[in-house]
Each structure stands twice: as structure tokens, then as C-alpha cells.
Amino acid sequence: MEKPSFRGKVVLVLGASGGIGAALVRRLLAADAQVIAAARSPERLAMLEREAGVSARLLTRPIDVRDCQQVVDLLSWVWERTGRIDLAIYCAGIEYLGPLKAISRAELEEMMATNFYGLFFLLQQLLPLMEQQQEKGTIVSVSSPMARLAFPWASAYAASKAAGDALLTGLRREYRRSGVRLLTIYPGPTATGAGQQLSPERLPRWHEHGTKMEAGRCAELLLRAVAAGQRQRVLAGSLRLLFLLERWLPSLSERICASMPLGEALT
């Protein structure tokens, strides 16, 4: 299959310091895009810069997406340098899993702030800017299958991702005549740092179960879906099937999702 062309496009990746986001940055640089990589860790952003060498096509900027002012400042900083953003990918995310009693208020707030508020701040600030551009841009939310399937022990994380899905769907309808494209992409299980901050007894067995996609492969499929312009895309075949069941045979999907294996210690 032909590779999608991002040559010369200005692409902003939020949540770019590791996992899927960093893999997206590498793919986009290889495809000759001008990339702005943003995340909290200056050290990990500096590593990306070192990897890219002296490339003038990579700019990095530390940002905490939970702070609206930092999102505003990031966008003005980018605008001063590039005058447009062709594609913005919201990949910042955090997951806290475990049984209901294990999810603390601080964890819940961090998930809502990172997975939902940050996306809201980006959309609220960037949509009016993209509308002014001659060539309208695309905004992508990297969601999770959990937003639609909500396996056991992932319900709070699922809720924070589902909030982002609903926001994007509503705005896609509100902005349907604007020319700006809003896409939601669902990666399958991918080998990244997601969930690594949790103690082992907080990780359900379904989380580690089975094969995980390489982050580079996930980034490649994600960019293909962006180039195809599909408003929603599930990247893993097995989950596509489960999405279909959830829609057309919900009682079977309920049985499958409910039977996902849990851990032992906290039940």
C-alpha cells in the first residue's frame, strides 16, 4: 500500500515524549513533515531532538495539557513560527486501572484532566485558528477501545476517554461546514509505557494478555487512517469485530467484555 504523504505539512503532536506519540513524531519526520512535539518531560523531548539530529523540521516544547494557559501559549508559539497547523494529534493520555475501590480521587481527576480537559482546551483554542487557514486542518483524538467497550477494571479510564469521544463527535457536527476535519482513532493494545506507573496488582490480566502492537506499527496505521480521512477508525482487527458486536449484538459483546480476566490481589 502506498505511504500517505505528509511532506511539508505542519503537524503538532501532544503527548509526544513516549509511546505512540513519539512513534508518530519519528514517522512524520521520516515523511518530511514539519513536526512540533509537545509533552511534559523536557528530558524525553530532548532525547527525540537528539535522535532527529540537527533537523530544522522538529521543534519541541514542554507543556502540561491540563493547564489551559499552557495550551494557549503553545498554540501562539507554534503560530508565530509556522503560521498554520495542518494536523494536530492529541495523544496525551494517562490510565489508572483497577477495581473501583482502588481508584483514588487524585487518579480520577488526573485522568479527566489529561484525557478530556486537555483535549477540550486544544479544540477550543485550535478550531477557530484552523478555520482561518486557507487550507483547513485536521484534528485527531487518539481515543481508546475502552471508551466504547469498557472492560472491567477500566471503567474510570473508559469514562475519561468516552467524554473525549462525545466532545469530538458533537464538535464534528457543529463544525461540519467549516472544512476542518475531526477524527477519532482507536489504537488496539500497543507496547508503550501506558499503565507502567501502576503496581502489578492494579493491572488486570487482560491488559498484559496477548500480543501487543509495536508503537511504530500503530503510528503507521494511525497516519494511514488520518490520510484516508475516516472520521472513526479502529486500528486492531479483533477489536473492530468487538465494536461491531457491541453495536449489533450487544448481549454477546456484554458477555465477552464481562468475562475479561482480572487480577487477584484486590478483588
- Active-site residues: which are they? 157
Report the nearest approach of ligand NAP to the CB of residue 33 (Å). Answer: 18
Output 114 or 138, the one with its CB closest to ligand NAP.
114
In the chain the first and final C-alpha atoms are separated, in Å, by 46
Considering only residues 108 to 137 of the shown chain, the ones binding ligand NAP according to CB under 6 A are 114
Residue 194 interacts with ligand NAP (CB under 6 A): yes or no: yes
State the residue for C-alpha cell 512513534.
23
Cβ contact 162:147 at 8 Å:
yes
Q: Is 138 in the site for ligand NAP (CB under 6 A)?
A: no
CA distance 107 to 98: 11
Cβ 181 to ligand NAP, closest distance in Å? 19
Site residues for ligand NAP, 172-191, by CB under 6 A, read 187, 189-190
When binding is defined by CB under 6 A, the residue of 44, 57, 224, 240 that contacts ligand NAP is 44
Regarding 204 and contact with ligand NAP (CB under 6 A), the answer is no
Work out whether 20 is an interface residue with ligand NAP (CB under 6 A). yes
**Cell numbers 505542519 correspond to what residue?**
10
99-114: b (≥16 Cβ within 10 Å) or e: beebbeeebeeebbbb
Cβ atoms 217, 191 nearer than 8 A: no
Question: Closest distance between ligand NAP and the C-beta of residue 222, in Å?
Answer: 9
Using CB under 6 A, pick the residue from 6, 10, 11, 17 that binds ligand NAP.
17
The C-alpha cell 480521587 sits at 105
**Is residue 164 close enough to count as binding ligand NAP by CB under 6 A?**
no
| CA–CA dist 183, 143 (Å, integer) | 10
Distance between CA atoms of residues 30 and 266, nearest Å: 45
Question: Interaction with ligand NAP in 68-97: which residues (CB under 6 A)?
Answer: 91-95
- 41 interacts with ligand NAP by CB under 6 A: yes
> Residue with C-alpha cell 518531560?
41
Q: Does 40 bind ligand NAP (CB under 6 A)?
A: yes
Residue 263: CB partners within 8 Å, gap ≥ 6? 153, 200, 201, 202, 203, 204, 205
Nearer to ligand NAP, 86 or 165 (CB): 165
Please report, as ranges, the residues that interact with ligand NAP according to CB under 6 A: 15-21, 39-41, 44, 63-66, 91-95, 114, 142, 144, 187, 189-190, 192-194
